[in-house]
């Protein structure tokens, strides 16, 4: 199934962040824009009533943030990626586009890989003169063995503007061969843009963390590997809060 299921745009009007465009299709649903954690900012939750991604699904999303706008887009609940032996990969493509000095926190919940699931995730970011915090995370189901693991491939590309050469391409891949058996949850918090600073990190039991500088002054990344999904989510929450 191809689902162009999310198309959101935000602008700053009278010092407040408001919806400029709000389009969505089943299985996704978007509610009202709540006040965000900073003056003039907004916060919206993207819900998924299907709660899973299936073999062969193609999901396309776009989020745009105008100059002066500041918004956090949050997911609700972790999303399962289902599979079966020999199945096609599911694909999720997301475009995050900032104009002027727009600011964005993009925080989808982790994807949970089920038995024999194959998942390809591509995130294209056009940062302009703005700044963004972008979370990328996935978890292996706790009952998976090496014989059951499919694969996940995640690529994040950062450009200043559409059509330009990337400032940064960050690619991660996991399959049964590459899987370190003691770890089941993996995540990255990207801190991007002209105002990006070295992110603070805080220790969480069961989580390995490392902050790295991205090329071409693109920003920084906090990489995480954890024993289980709960510890990873705690580390993601704490890191994003420290960045704010």
62-118 per-position pLDDT tens digit: 999 999 999 999 998 788 999 999 999 999 999 999 999 999 999 999 999 999 999
- Span 25-45, mean pLDDT? 92
**Token pair recorded at residue 243:** 């960045």
**Would you mind telling me the total number of residues written for the chain in this entry?**
244
- List Cβ<8 Å contacts ≥24 apart for 43-46: 43/71, 43/72, 43/74, 44/8, 44/71, 44/72, 44/73, 44/74, 45/74, 45/75, 45/76, 46/6, 46/73, 46/74, 46/75, 46/76, 46/108
Instruction: Give the pLDDT band (50/70/90) at residue 26.
Output: confident
**Token pair recorded at residue 3:** 């689902």
Instruction: Give the pLDDT band (50/70/90) at residue 173.
Output: very high
- Whether this model's pTM surpasses 0.75: yes
Residues facing 224 on adjacent strands: 187, 209
**What pLDDT, on the 0 to 100 scale, is given for residue 78?**
80
Could you tell me which residues come within 8 angstroms of residue 160 by beta carbon, excluding any fewer than 6 positions away?
126, 127, 128, 167
**Token pair recorded at residue 36:** 């965000």
- Average confidence score pLDDT of the chain: 92
* Nearest alpha-carbon partner for 141 in 203, 213, 206, 79: 79
- Span 18-43, mean pLDDT? 93
CA dihedral 213, 202, 63, 56 (to 10 degrees): 90
């Amino acid at each position: 199934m191809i689902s162009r299921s999310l198309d959101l745009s935000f602008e700053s009007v009278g010092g407040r962040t408001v919806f400029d465009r709000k389009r969505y299709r089943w299985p996704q649903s978007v509610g009202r824009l709540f006040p965000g954690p900073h003056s003039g900012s907004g916060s919206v939750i993207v819900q998924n009533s299907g709660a899973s991604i299936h073999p062969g699904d193609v999901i396309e999303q776009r989020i745009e943030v105008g100059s002066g706008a500041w918004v956090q887009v949050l997911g609700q609940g972790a999303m399962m990626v289902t599979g079966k032996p020999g199945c096609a990969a599911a694909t999720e493509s997301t475009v995050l586009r900032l104009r002027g000095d727009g600011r964005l926190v993009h925080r989808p919940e982790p994807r949970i890989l089920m038995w024999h699931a194959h998942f390809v995730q591509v995130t294209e970011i056009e940062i302009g003169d703005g700044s963004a915090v972008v979370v990328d995370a996935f978890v292996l189901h706790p009952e998976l063995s090496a014989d059951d693991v499919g694969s996940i491939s995640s690529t994040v590309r950062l450009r200043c503007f559409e059509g330009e050469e990337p400032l940064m391409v960050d690619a991660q891949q996991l399959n049964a061969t590459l899987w370190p058996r003691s770890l089941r949850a993996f995540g990255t918090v990207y801190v991007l843009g002209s105002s990006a600073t070295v992110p603070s990190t805080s220790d969480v039991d069961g989580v390995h963390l490392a902050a790295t500088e991205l090329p071409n002054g693109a920003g920084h990344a906090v990489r995480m590997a954890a024993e289980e999904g709960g510890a990873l989510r705690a580390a993601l929450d704490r890191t994003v809060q420290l960045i704010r």
